[in-house]
Amino acid sequence: MAVTHSAPSIYTAPVVARRSPCREHFEITIRLPSFPDAVPGQFLNVLCRDAQSMDDTGAAMLRRPFSIGGLRRSAEGVEIDILGRVVGPGTAWLNALQVGDELNVLGPLGRGFTIPNHGERALLIAGGVGLPPIRWLCEILRKSAVFCEVIFGAQSRDLLPISFREPPKSDGAFTLCAEDFAREGAACLITTDDGSCGVRGRVTDGLSHWLANAEAPSNVRVYSCGPEPMLRAVATICAERGLRCEAAMERVMGCGMGTCQSCVVPVVAPDRASGRRYALCCREGPVFETARVIW
């Protein structure tokens, strides 16, 4: 299904909610009077410092990219969720925001995930802070009655920024354990590297398990977001099984809009003598068909 992408603008919006879903993660919700159409996988480039302050000591000078982790429209405006993990000055500044503080964002940016064709089912795979676009994608797909299953993994239980309805199974069974996905009716398999929650292992172990059991794996489109080694491993497994797969890639970004050329991803280019070219992650991505990416 074709997806149109709206022109980005700069918005200043108040924080209307904040929470700490787990150790090192924060979630903030901003409310804007209006916001263009956007799709999961698209992102905001966020000013992670006080726009008015002249004191730039230790501040994040450049905007920082964050996936749109949820978007709700109502009579009061448009609420957008940003889920993040504190790794440096920009994310530390976001984590310190309180309800009522203002945030300056540029968006919607980039190209998001595509919607499955009629009759296709979706397997959503998220690792660590790759959760936000996958969570929103699940919500959108379930509203379109697409059958979805989710594999979500992190290093350990205290780094899983989700809440549970019931303890996740440790035998590889998909259950309605994860509240974020269960309310959409999507079953989830949790993996942790240290086995402190769900299945011990990586999300790719969950994927291999799923492929060993799925009844109709050829009718599936895989969607993934997480650290690059995880995306590469998921892409390899999908290529071996002939599954169509999309990945939301991350690059260190300057402008987020195709100007600074800092965010390249090598992709196949059959029309070039070299057979390859560089795509800008912020413009052509961040979501790419994994078969196009030269890993």
Residues making contact with ligand FAD (CB under 6 A) = 43, 60, 64-67, 69, 83-85, 87-91, 129, 132, 250-253, 286
219/262 with CB nearer ligand FAD: 262
Instruction: State the minimum distance, in angstroms, from the CB of residue 231 to ligand FAD.
Output: 12
220/224 with CB nearer ligand FAD: 224
> Considering CB distances under 5 to 8 angstroms, the limit depending on partner class, which of ligand FAD, ligand FES, none binds residue 111?
none
Instruction: State the minimum distance, in angstroms, from the CB of residue 293 to ligand FES.
Output: 16
Tokens of 58: 């230790």
Instruction: State the minimum distance, in angstroms, from the CB of residue 254 to ligand FES.
Output: 4
- HEC assignment per residue over 152-203: EEECCHHHCCCCECCCCCCCCCCECCEHHHHCCCCEEEEEECCCCCCEECCH
> Considering CB distances under 5 to 8 angstroms, the limit depending on partner class, which of ligand FAD, ligand FES, none binds residue 260?
ligand FES
Residue closest to ligand FAD when measured from CB atoms: 88
Distance CA 186, CA 178 (A): 9
Binding site for ligand FES (CB under 6 A): 253-256, 258-263, 280, 282
Distance CA 108, CA 128 (A): 23
Dihedral in degrees, nearest 10, Cα atoms 96, 97, 99, 105: -160
186/280 with CB nearer ligand FES: 280
131/220 with CB nearer ligand FAD: 131
**253, containing H or E segment:** none
Distance CA 90, CA 63 (A): 8
Tokens 């989700």 -> residue: 162
> Considering CB distances under 5 to 8 angstroms, the limit depending on partner class, which of ligand FES, ligand FAD, none binds residue 208?
none
In the three-class reduction of DSSP (H, G, I as helix; E, B as strand; rest coil), residue 236 is classed as helix
Instruction: State the minimum distance, in angstroms, from the CB of residue 44 to ligand FES.
Output: 13
Q: Is the dihedral of CA 181, 197, 169, 231 positive or negative?
A: positive
Tokens of 181: 């996905």
43/136 with CB nearer ligand FES: 43
List the one residue out of 106, 151, 100 whose CA is nearest residue 125. 151
* CB of 214 closer than 8 Å to CB of 220: yes
> Considering CB distances under 5 to 8 angstroms, the limit depending on partner class, which of ligand FAD, ligand FES, none binds residue 83?
ligand FAD
Question: Could you tell me the CA-to-CA distances from 110 to 46, 48, 170, 273, 281 in Å, in that order?
Answer: 14, 19, 37, 28, 8
> Considering CB distances under 5 to 8 angstroms, the limit depending on partner class, which of ligand FES, ligand FAD, none binds residue 91?
ligand FAD
> Considering CB distances under 5 to 8 angstroms, the limit depending on partner class, which of ligand FES, ligand FAD, none binds residue 259?
ligand FES
121/251 with CB nearer ligand FES: 251
Instruction: State the minimum distance, in angstroms, from the CB of residue 63 to ligand FAD.
Output: 9
122/249 with CB nearer ligand FAD: 249
> Considering CB distances under 5 to 8 angstroms, the limit depending on partner class, which of ligand FAD, ligand FES, none binds residue 11?
none
